[in-house]
Amino acid sequence: MLPADPTRSAAYREISQRIRESRPEDAVPELERISAEVRQSIVRMIDRAQLGHIGGDLSVTDILVACFYGVLALDPERPRWEGRDRFVLSKGHCAAALYSTLAHCGFFHTGELDTFMAPLSALNGHPNKIKVPGVETNTGALGHGFPVATGCALGAKLDGATWRTVVVLGDGELQEGSNWEAAMTASHYGLSSLTVVIDRNRLQQGARTEETKTLEPLGDKWRSFGWEVREVDGHDHLALLKALERSTTGRPVAVIANTIKGKGVSFMEDRVEWHHKVPSSEQVVAALAELAR
Ligand SMILES: Cc1ncc(C[n+]2csc(CCOP(=O)(O)OP(=O)(O)O)c2C)c(N)n1
């Protein structure tokens, strides 16, 4: 297991406390600054590794930053603290976005990001809970993270615990049937401490989601499964913070976060080939320049 970075971890505690204590609208500039840094790290990691899923990493970044800095109760120096909130990135192919966020929070040293996908690195192409602090469960085979998160939330309910569970799914991932079993289970047991965030970038590997298998009307599907549905712009931190508030209805919450695959890099945005294409060195320079603006 990688060691924590105490300096960054202390900074994370201070920044996230400030964000939670301020009015949500006042927290937005800081969250946007962090997202820009996380996105730049992602581009550098994929450039070094010459591998990765850059499009989905860039679409999910704002969701991860809003969760880690504005919502989840976590301590990077005690990643297995019993009272922590549980976070699962079910779309595990976007490990680079998760690692970049975890390193920024101090779960491990940012220098480790240079090893992404290198032989013997802890930072594999899909997250591994044995190797990486802050990874709640191994993911990568689509359709598994949400059922595990549902089990976490059910466990919390049986124990009378107050921590919550947040799980991020890809929209293409929703084509795996196991998700709908989990959706039924969570509403059946009234798992109001469970929040699903769907990274609705409308693209999957090689095609648009709607061309592969129609997901719409997506909100109605979740409602018919007994969920409270909140739909937001998944790049609007203020909207995300509000949408991520706890359920008050006794029902689990599904946040449909409308996002853009490749967000922040103009030539990658909404283009299916950037699911896992690797940028050339000229494109890396251009991408970093756009993300630094
Ligand atoms: C069970 C399984 N089948 C296939 C894959 C290969 N795969 C990796 S990413 C991906 C597309 C996922 O699309 P989406 O969930 O929309 O992710 P995003 O567009 O946000 O990257 C596929 C099919 C996998 N990881 N797991």
Protein residue whose Cα sits closest to atom 17 of ligand 1: 170
pLDDT tens for 123-138 read: 999 999 999 999 999 9
From 168, 173, 214, 260, the mutation candidate for ligand 1 (largest count of ligand atoms within 8 A of CB) is 173
pLDDT tens for each residue of 193-227: 999 999 999 999 999 999 999 999 999 999 999 99
**Ligand 1 atom nearest residue 170's Cα:** 15
Give the mean pLDDT of the chain. 98
What is the predicted pLDDT for the residue at 155?
98
Give the model's confidence band at 293: pLDDT under 50 very low, under 70 low, under 90 confident, else very high: confident
Distance CA 141, CA 124 (A): 14
Phi and psi, residue 80, nearest 5°: -110, 15
Q: What is the pLDDT of residue 154?
A: 98
Q: Are strands 165-170 and 194-200 parallel, antiparallel or unpaired?
A: parallel
Other beta carbons less than 10 A from residue 48's beta carbon: 16
Mutate to test the pocket of ligand 1, among 42, 46, 91, 261 (most ligand atoms within 8 A of CB): 91
Residues in the chain: 293
Angstrom CA distances, 185 to 25, 143, 178, stand at 35, 14, 11
Q: Write down all domains in the chain, each with its CATH number in brackets.
A: 6-291 (3.40.50.970)
pLDDT band with cut points at 50, 70 and 90 for residue 101 = very high
To test the ligand 1 pocket, which listed residue (63, 64, 93, 261) has its Cβ within 8 A of the most ligand atoms? 93
- Distance, in Å, from the CA atom of 159 to the CA atom of 29, rounded to the nearest integer, reads 38
Average pLDDT over residues 73-90: 98
Interval 149-196: pLDDT, tens: 999 999 999 999 999 999 999 999 999 999 999 999 999 999 999 999
Residue 274 makes CB contacts below 8 A (sequence gap 6+) with 54, 55, 261, 262, 268
> How many whole angstroms from 92 Cα to the centroid of ligand 1?
8
Name residues contacting ligand 1 (CB within 6 A): 53, 55-56, 59, 91, 93-94, 140-143, 170-173, 199, 201, 203-205, 261
The pTM of this model reads 0.98
pLDDT for res 178:
98
Q: Kindly give the number of the ligand 1 atom that is closest to the alpha carbon of 203.
A: 19
